[in-house]
Structure formats: C-alpha cells, structure tokens
Structure 1
C-alpha cells in the first residue's frame, strides 16, 4: 500500500483528447453502459498493475442519495459515501468490463452503508487501512457566464480552495457531458504525471481490447512506449566490455592492486 503525508502529495491535471473522449462516448452509447464503468475498469487496471497484483481494491465515491428514490435529488445535506471496489483481472476484456458493470450496480444498494461497517464485514480490523487508492467520478456541469448565472448571492466571498483527501493514490474524473478531465493526487515518490499517463493508456488499451472478444485482460499493458523501452531495453542492457586475453583471477588481482582497501 502507498501512504504519505499531505505534504508528500503531488497533483497533476489533464483533459482527455477530443478523439479519445468521442471514442469513449461512442462505445458507452453503443453498448448501453455508463462512462463511469469504463473509468472504474481503467482505474482498476492501473491500481492492479502498480500493485503488481491480479486484482485491485480501491474506494469509490457514491452520492449516497438512494438513487431512484422519490425526492432524493432535492434533499439538503452532504450524502457522499465511500465504498470499496474489488475487481479481478481475469477473463476477456469484455468479461472484465461486465464484471465492473455488475459490481457497481450491486454497490448502489449499499450507498448509505458506512465504510466502517463494510470493513467490519471483511474481517479486516478498523486499525488497518482497507484500501489506499480512491476514485472520484463526478458529473461536473460547465460553468455559465457570470451575466447569465442565476446563482443565489450568499454574500460570502470565496478566496480560494484546494482539494485534498487522506488517500495517497487518488484520481478524480470530471464528466463534462462531452469532454473528460482527470486530476491525479499521488504520493510524490510515485509521480502524479506518471499515473495520468497510465490512466490514459488504460482507457486506450481497453477501447482497443474491446474490439477483440478473445483478448485477455492480462494481456493489456498501461506502460508508454518510452517506459517500456526503458524497462525492457535500457535496464536490461548489462553488456560490459572486458579484456579477452585475461582470466578472471588476473582481473581480480588488478582490481585489488588498484583499490586495496575495497572490501
């Protein structure tokens, strides 16, 4: 698990390209799934790969307003709740996406269940972290021009704000209706820019993977070409030149003479 203090958190932000956003919208419209399903699936792939596991456990924010209940949207108050998401990287890409879709649907019935209660069901003590990664998928409306806004004037002047969570591996997705924006708040030793690249790559490989019904989810990589080259080629380039006319003993003796104090 990844843990760090608030001062160790690094933040990066990006807006997905128009091409990628349109491709995502087209896919969800064609197959009648929510964009949130794709982003949860992609995030599960990122968390699993970063953890070197064949599964991922992370928290997801739910509105907690008993969706579908009469008058729920008009009720005042903060209803946000965090629920655990456990996804397994198994089966075809389509089977993986379907797994995430079913899971998110099942979690709606628990949207008002306290996280501490759910953790108690798991058998993991409340003195331990249930998960250290968080996903916040939110529908964000486009701001209206100031002259057209009918927002109530409370008389309060907003000086500024800064979004933070207690989780060292947090991703927020803003769904603007057409475009998508992603904000990563990540422990500095991992790198927030890196996670944004992983997330975009995960979305792209999922889109490509869904074109092949037989492709296994474990065959997908979230690494960029540059990082793959560094890991597979640069770090594995261990070729070292050495004199062909001398034995290992002779080379060792020469090294001892050069640096006799070396142990």
Structure 2
C-alpha cells in the first residue's frame, strides 16, 4: 500500500521525538493520573491509576461528561477538567530544563510541539461513512462466498453419508469410485475455503487502501486549517500522546463531506 506521508519527513520526526518525550509526557501522565483519581473518587471506574490513557479511562470520562451536562466526547478539555477539579496540560508551569536543556540548533521548537496531532487509522477506516459502506460491501461479499463454501461442504457430507449408509451394499468397484469422489470433493472443499479466505483478505486490503487514499486529502485539509506541523499515524511509537491531540474525528468529518 503506497500512501504519501501525512506528516513531515522522518528526519524531522526523529529530531522532535526526544523533545516531545521530555516536554510533554511527564505532564500529560500526571494530568491523566489526576483525572483517573478524580473519576475514581466520584464513583467511576477509570481502570488502573497508572497515568495511561486507556479505554476504561475514556469510557469513565464519557460517563462523567454525560452525567454533568457536557459533550460526551471522552476527550480532555477545559470544561471537563474544571468540573473534575484538575489542571490542564496547557496550564502547567514550565519545567526548569524546558528552556536551558534544548539544543540551540532547533529554533521554533516550542511552536512546532504545540502543533502536533495524530490520527487513528483503524478508527478512520471503521467510523468514516466510506468505511461503513466498505464494511457493508465486505459483508455482502462474505455472504456470497459462504454460500459457495456451504454448497461444497454439503456435497462432501452427502457423499460421506452415502458411503457410510449404503457402502456395505455397493460392489467393491462402485464403493471405490465413491470413495475417490469423496476424496476429490474434500480436496476441492479445502481449496475453496483457502481461496475464499485469500480473496476476502485481498479485497479487504484493497478497500482499506482506497479509503486511506481518499482520506489523504481530508487529512491535508485538516492539517492546513488547524495549522498542524506534525501529524503522526502511529501514536504508540512515542509511548503516549494526549487524547487532546487526536484529530481523527476532524478528518472523518471532512472525509464524510466529500
């Protein structure tokens, strides 16, 4: 699958990785831990109080937002944090080494780091209108393939049942022919199952590739309109990124309008 990069070159990414980890991760882990602690104290279940943003934390935050009249986005925002009584990443005090430990050959680093976003490709494929249509098409294809497989399996079972029920009454020659027919049918069934799986996997990959290619324009549009300088496609490469920099919903909205 050949998709043009959605972000800056890998060289720029590598140059910023260390700075992102030093400048953002400790504060964000602390904020997430505070949110988890507040949610737990209020009777919600955010999962382990480990400072790691996971599904349980997001679901607990959504429940809190719904019950407090806030948009149930599951994302950290000022209104939610105010209700929870915790600080926001933007309100933290600079670390002592923020200004002195950064290399002098990276001017504008502060501005660049404030414009980092990431996109969840799996959610883009699953949640976009195009993705839902693709899943519906794939389900139709699977059902058609399943009909072929079921028909071949019936043929195998009928031959096996015929041999088991009337084999004693068959002449040796006829029985041998039926057993050969059963072997051929069983072999054809196994080959059909393998071919169907391969066809479905290939068609699935092609549909995903088409969606991601279509999404490229939407991603660039969001990046320009929101002035992003770096957009990551794999947040796990950094260990942690705040959900507040997830732009997947924005890209899906633009993509669905096309």
Please give the range of the TM-score, normalised by the shorter of the 2 chains: under 0.3
TM-score (norm 2): 0.20
TM-score scaled to structure 1, two decimals?
0.20
Task: Say which structure is richer in helix.
Answer: 2
Q: Which has the larger strand fraction? A: 1
